[in-house]
Amino acid sequence: MPRPIWKGHISFGLVSIPITLYSAEKRFDLHFKLLDSRDKAKIRYSRVNEVTGEEVPWDQIVKGYEYDDDKYVLIDDEEFKKVAVEATRTIEIEDFVAVDSIDHVYFDKPYFVVPDKKNQKGYVLLREVLRNTGKAGIARVVIHTREYLSTLFVTGDVLVLELLRFEQELRNPKEFELPGNDLSDYKVTKKEVDLAEKLVEAMTAKWEPEKYEDEYRAELMEWIQKKAKAGGLEVPPESADEPGEEEGGGKVIDMMELLKKSVEGKGGKTRAKTTSSKKKKASGSGKKTG
């Protein structure tokens, strides 16, 4: 059973629902330590005064905000507490919005919302209302002394609380030089659009998240295990097909020809074949010895 992150209530109107938040993520990050290549000793970081070059003890370190060049406002722990948000235990829904009106770029971190076993009626009521209306709740929540904007929506039979990025945390796309909407400016023809749409249709499949795996992590882990078995020595790389000269040579791309070939081959099949052959190759080379 995962560890609960937060306990409290969801509130909308006069309705209060006791719930517990659990992280919806499982992290599989590989953690590496920094070592000295000469003797494999771990690297230790020191807190050094840049003027004296001496190490500074923790009890002498303070936080400061640089408001001008080399000018700082110092803030201690007590002052942080004075301006800290009130750590309430209520997720109070401020608004309901259409669930598909929230742009995905705002989504940041998901939590599963689990009801109190003794009082599930309010949870079921809110879940079914959100499902039937296609709405999501917008609320603020304080987790670990920080306030977040969040959205509450339904997936399957569970309520999900997704932390949202604030508007000011996102860059404006206008900062970038993006292509305009006049296709003729980019010599994109209607035939190419039609053919590209056919390719998309041919590659369209049912969303099955379980079929997508972190291939890079799996291959890196396999490489680490091989190297560990070899006593930390270099493992000879597997031969890979080198791209032909035409692929990276700055040639003019015949988009129509590429689209036709892709549609004939029904798109995405090439990667599937490559991936499966890679896995077969890996399983063949990973036989146990001894």
pLDDT (tens digit per residue) in 208-251: 888 888 888 888 888 888 888 877 666 566 655 544 444 444 56
Note the pLDDT of residue 87: 66
Note the pLDDT of residue 113: 97
Task: Say how many residues make up the chain.
Answer: 290
Please tell me the pTM assigned to this model: 0.68
102's CB contacts (< 8 A; 6+ apart) are 136, 151, 164
Residues of the chain with CATH 2.40.290.10: 6-27+84-169
Alpha helix (H) ranges present in the chain?
77-83, 121-133, 190-203, 215-229, 255-264, 269-285
Note the pLDDT of residue 266: 67
Confidence bin at 98 (pLDDT 50/70/90): very high
Query: Once rounded to an integer, what is the mean pLDDT over residues 148-166?
Result: 96
pLDDT in tens, 3-15: 888 999 999 888 8
| Of 201, 217, 240, the residue nearest 32 (C-alpha) | 217
* Residue 12 φ then ψ, to 5°: -145, 125
pLDDT in tens, 128-140: 999 999 999 999 9
Query: Once rounded to an integer, what is the mean pLDDT over residues 279-290?
Result: 44
Pairwise CA distance, residues 132 & 219, whole Å? 43
Query: Once rounded to an integer, what is the mean pLDDT over residues 146-150?
Result: 91
Look over the chain and give the mean of its residue pLDDT values, rounded to a whole number: 83
* Residue 181 φ then ψ, to 5°: -95, -10
- In contact, 72 and 65? CB cutoff 8 Å: yes
Note the pLDDT of residue 85: 62
Residue 213, CB half-sphere, CA atoms under 13 Å: how many?
A: 10
Query: Once rounded to an integer, what is the mean pLDDT over residues 73-78?
Result: 85
Please check the confidence at residue 111 and state whether its pLDDT lies above 90: yes
Note the pLDDT of residue 276: 46
Domain 6-27+84-169 classification at class level:
mainly beta
